[in-house]
Structure 1
């Protein structure tokens, strides 16, 4: 018998059957297995540049909260990494996220679009997203994204942007189905995806590896060229970290 990240016993069809029954309180818990909410860093206003001098960064780089061996971090896991950007980019960002984490959604909506335009699309940054679900609903969201295949990142984006419409609602299963149908899923492919035991096990393996090997205990957690940063980092702070590495 499998168990969820909260220790609840789950059957082989759990990622599907548990969606309608799980409580809103459990789904909206903090993005941390410690039960403490991981607050995003405060936005710091940009200071005006002095005349005839380059513009000052909007924020200073936050202090890293540890480091990991990049060679170990980038070793293949249970699922192939989903990445954007060039393999030979000077900077590699690995994000561990949970689909039901509001701070992850905040980052996806407010920081990631500019990060992608400024750094990923220009070949400066390689970005890798890894699954770190804290509950069965987050597992289901990631499973649907994996089943979307080449549309993994668009599906993740939609699920983050629509988070309030499917997380903690009265019937999460139906809400997810409606979103999935817009992405081309049928009722059959939706249920087939969410009852794929191997996929569920692999998603959990990615989460377990992140926790055991790289000490991920909250989301979002970012590894930027081996340095660890936690919380929904702003684009100004992200720039302050990345720019010296280029």
Structure 2
């Protein structure tokens, strides 16, 4: 038992250290990268998933954060919640095996949906950022497979609801299939085949490229109308930033 305690303590300290490094990285980025500079990848992710031309023009002003153009606002995006024209957008980079992402999903996300998404003030956009090994990558693919059948958020929440307070859940192929059954996946045969479909990895890689380009190195990381929030912060932190952003519209 003492050895287990020491391993748990060491793991917790490691996670805290990762968050601190990420905070320093993002703060440094915001200080040294002027808006409208040469780092186009940090402001406009390449490919069809990036912001439209009109959005890019709107985010190129000299007084705007270089993170303000991250929201894609794709109509019908199954991995997003809220209207495409919501005044406030929250882009969140998450890993299915991240205990802090699970805490946010259980404790904070429902409150934000009730207060802001349902009233049309906030749009939440998911970004896959699998950093905890092969199981994280497989879970990200499974989430995309669920999205193909309109069950993304149900599947997402089923995983996080079962996640431990500390440490990483064991998300094997069998477990991922069990969650699909649990949420009533309409076509289990297709879902199972999709778990072996590498084409579903491309949107995951695009999310990773976008996050890495702005300095994301830990999960969860949030960007609300260009303002970063690191970790599963208290509800009041999100409320303050969201309402502040809404007041600037």
TM-score by length of 2: 0.66
**Superimposed CA distance per residue, residues 96-148 of structure 1 (whole angstroms, 9 cap, x where no aligned partner):** 11111000001111111001100111111111111001122122222222212
Deviant stretches of 4+, over 4 Å: none
In structure 1, runs of 5+ residues without a counterpart are: 1-24, 40-63
Pairs within 5 Å for 1:111-122:
111-122=108-119
Pairs within 5 Å for 1:7-156:
36-38=17-19, 65=27, 66=30, 67-71=65-69, 73-75=70-72, 82-134=79-131, 135-149=133-147, 150-156=150-156
Residue 211 of structure 1 corresponds to which residue in structure 2?
212
Name which structure has the greater RCO, CA cutoff 8 Å, separation 6+. Answer: 1
TM-score by length of 1: 0.66
Counterparts in 2 of 1:208 and 1:35: CA distance versus 1, 3 Å: farther
Distance 1:35 1:233 in 2: 13
Residue 238 of structure 2 corresponds to which residue in structure 1?
238
Count, aligned residues: 190
Secondary structure of the structure 2 residue equivalent to 1:148: helix
CA RMSD of aligned residues (A): 3.3
My pick for the range that moved more, 216-225 or 82-91, is 82-91
Counterparts in 2 of 1:109 and 1:35: CA distance versus 1, 3 Å: closer
Give yes or no for contact 1:96–1:129 (8 Å, CA) kept in 2. Answer: yes
Counterparts in 2 of 1:225 and 1:151: CA distance versus 1, 3 Å: same
Give yes or no for contact 1:91–1:224 (8 Å, CA) kept in 2. Answer: yes
Do structure 1's residue 193 and structure 2's residue 194 form an aligned pair? yes
Looking at secondary structure, tell me which structure has more helix per residue. 2
Residue 157 of structure 2 corresponds to which residue in structure 1?
157
Secondary structure of the structure 2 residue equivalent to 1:233: coil
**Superimposed CA distance per residue, residues 66-120 of structure 1 (whole angstroms, 9 cap, x where no aligned partner):** 453423x23589xx67211122222111001111100000111111100110011
